Amino acid sequence: LYVSTHKTGTDSIVARIIARVEEAQDSRTRGERIIERFSRYYTPTILAGSLLYLIVTGDLHVALTLLVVSCPGALVIAAPVAVIASIGRAAKRGVLIRGGAELEAAAGVDVFATDKTGTMTTGALAVLRVVSCLDSLDPPPGTEASGEAAVLAWAAIAEGPSEHPIGRAIRTHAESLLGTLPHGEAFAYRAGSGVAATHRGHTIEVARPRPATVHSPEIIAFGRGDRTASTPEPGECERLDEAVANAGRDGMTAVIVHVDSRPVGMIALADTIRSDAAETVAAIRRIGVGRVVLLTGDNEAVAGAVANRVGIDEYHAGLVPDEKLAFIRRLQADGHTVAMLGDGVNDAPALAAADVGIAIGLGGSDLAVEAADLALMTDRLTAIPETLRAARRAVATIRGNLGIAVATVVAFLAGVLLGEIHMAGGMLIHQLSILVVIANGLRLTRGHGRRKIVIT
């Protein structure tokens, strides 16, 4: 009996929800931090003031009343109750928020950047076209594939351990035609470029067709030093160059397969746009986010087609992870608060750098989820604008609660000093002010019904 374990119970959605709730307890909003610092001075000041009043006037009853009504109960819970209510409601709707600071940042987002594959599209790619660069191509050892099937087999072996949607699609398609295929050894992933592996003494690379990779892949680590593929003979890849160009014009994503440093073929894949992608983009604009940007490593034609379908005016194609990261940092340097939506390893640097990183948790990479501030554990993209809207409501509620708390304390102090409020009345009104703040915060738990969340 052979058992392969890839994840433990701590990786389940339920466990992640619990972990995020625990993290949220340590992550405070700016308002909470200000109140915490304020309380360090406020409490000793009130104690000293009440004691001073007792010494000067000798009126113990009024001094104790001052002490009671000045207790900052409503002030202290003004922010936490709103934060907890908002994070709890988001979790019920399938969005995990890391904490109060991240909720506050989400309320200020004015630029929304998103990856393409697995976010605006389903990520369920299908292999539509395979082209062989060579008239005859030796099949991988242990297989009997030939021609285009051999290209597919070599690529599938290299993509064996890959979690990227392209790798999974190639592997699934190849095995549906050729049966079970072995996994390559010495697997290496090059963010934004492709993958590499070895198989029975042969080196295999599957890389996207940038100028540096159509005829020779970028440097990829194999575990025994770095190497680059040699340049093929003139005219050897004319068929391949044309196939890549045709795939781009047809809106497909193309990858080049190299075996032993020589390009042997191209695989073209197509994705489908999420049914709620356009609705999500429109909803993000409606809540006041003025700029929505598509960032993708795919080619210009594919990026433009997807952007047009989902209603995004600005897109940047052919980006590697470092370029996505640089773009996010430029926006931040210009004073923008940036949210970044992604699902793959490629997106992790940009997710970590963004003011609000949003990861697709279902089907996305673990690294992306860990780098993000918000994790979408539902298949509804529309949960994103709902969460951004809820974050704005939460911040507005916190400000309202703080106003109620401060106004109540000031009114109490004035009333006591003027002799209008006594101990019993002061205690009653003080408790009522706390209940008002709690009730105001709990309004954030109300929504338009619960959404069904699939727990796996």
**Residue 201, class by beta-carbon neighbours within 10 Å (0-12 exposed, 13-18 middle, 19+ buried)?**
exposed
Query: For 178-211, what is each residue's pLDDT tens digit?
Result: 888 888 888 888 766 788 999 988 999 998 876 5
Q: Which amino acid is at 369?
A: V
Ranges in the chain, pLDDT < 70: 1-36, 38-39, 191-192, 210-237, 344-345, 362-369, 447-456
Determine the 3-state secondary structure of 212 from DSSP. coil
Whole-Å CA distances, 18 to 23, 28, 250? 9, 17, 45
265 forms beta bridges with 132, 257
CA gap 333, 330 in Å, rounded? 5
Report pLDDT for 294.
96
Tokens at residue 394, please?
């939460």
| 3-state percent breakdown (helix, strand, coil) of the chain, nearest 5 | 50, 15, 35
Which residue's structure tokens are 């003979």? Answer: 233
Is residue 266 a contact partner of residue 134, using CB atoms and an 8 Å limit?
A: no
CA gap 411, 413 in Å, rounded? 6
Report pLDDT for 223.
33
Report pLDDT for 79.
83
Report pLDDT for 226.
38
- pTM for this model (two decimals): 0.69
CA gap 380, 90 in Å, rounded? 13
Would you name the residues annotated as active-site residues?
115
Is residue 113 a contact partner of residue 293, using CB atoms and an 8 Å limit?
A: yes
Q: Which amino acid is at 370?
A: E
End-to-end CA distance of the chain: 25
Tokens at residue 123, please?
């990520």
Determine the 3-state secondary structure of 259 from DSSP. strand
DSSP 233: P
Report pLDDT for 348.
81
Q: Which amino acid is at 2?
A: Y
CA gap 182, 187 in Å, rounded? 12
Q: Report the 3 state secondary structure along 11-44.
A: HCHHHHHHHHHHHHCCCCCHHHHHHHHHHHHHHH
- Residue 114, Ramachandran bin (φ over 0: left; ψ between -120 and 50: alpha; else beta): beta
Other Cβ atoms within 10 Å of 124 Cβ, number: 13
Report pLDDT for 219.
32
266 forms beta bridges with 131, 256
